[in-house]
Amino acid sequence: MRAGLALAALALALSLALAAWRRRRRPVREVLFFPSPPRCTEALLAEAAGSGGAARPCPCPLPRGDCALGRLLRRLLSARRSLELCLFAFSSPQLGHAVCLLHRRGVRVRVVTDAQYMGLPGSQIGLLRRAGIQVRHDQESGYMHHKFAIVDRRLLITGSLNWTTQAIQSNRENVLVVEDAEYVKPFLEEFERIWEEYNPVNYRFFTQRQ
């Protein structure tokens, strides 16, 4: 009788553990492919800004609906505490708008970029700086060619996509959205390494005083 009870308890515990294991949240694993057809992303940005985008529809003639850029924006706009950006080229107005929104919402935004590309026409880097966002850049002859973002230190967004309208609308590109720690951790470490290395105290624009 006692053994029977123990058997039943064991079976119950086993099935509960199995159910919990099945229910555990699977890590986010998403792939976005570009080009992304031109779509209106105003509602998405207005909603994130809390200005009731749904109530006042955007008058622009672009079609609405799901697209790779919209899904990328949604992942970015999910940031609540921090956003690290390590971007070779950044000129997409929609992505620039999203990053400024997050900064205004109190998210700690840090940007690392490439010195040769940050001054090109259409670059969002100046806008970010004027908004008060910290930006650091390389001083090297090689490119700072990464194109990744880390949301809340747990979600990595990385791929071939430079954050430019040309890349988004015309190129074949890929972006991976990754939550597995085996990827997020080394990218966070790479960001912190570059962030420290590109600290302005290390800049050497002028000849050292003898």
Query: Which are the catalytic amino acids?
Result: 145, 147, 152
Nearer to its own copies, 62 or 181 (CB): 181
Kindly determine how many residues on this chain lie close enough to bind its own copies according to the rule CB under 8 A: 43
Write the DSSP symbol of residue 130: H
Site string for its own copies, 137-156 (x = CB under 8 A): -x-xxxxxxxxx--------
Contacts of 100 (CB under 8 A, 6+ apart): 127, 128, 131, 133
Nearer to its own copies, 45 or 177 (CB): 177
| Smallest separation, CB 97 to its own copies (Å) | 23
| Measured torsion, CA atoms of residues 204, 150, 98, 68, in degrees rounded to the nearest 10 | 120
Site string for its own copies, 18-47 (x = CB under 8 A): -----------x-x-x-x------------
| Measured torsion, CA atoms of residues 36, 37, 42, 46, in degrees rounded to the nearest 10 | -30
Among 182, 207, 208, 210, binds its own copies (CB under 8 A): 182
| Smallest separation, CB 71 to its own copies (Å) | 13
Q: Which amino acid is at 34?
A: F
- Rg from Cα positions in the chain: 22
Closest CA to 149 of 90, 67, 197, 91: 90
Nearer to its own copies, 170 or 199 (CB): 170
* Cα 84 from Cα 121, distance rounded (Å): 23
Residues near its own copies (CB under 8 A): 3-4, 6-7, 10-11, 14, 29, 31, 33, 35, 86, 88, 138, 140-148, 158-161, 166-167, 169-174, 176, 180, 182-183, 186-187, 190, 194
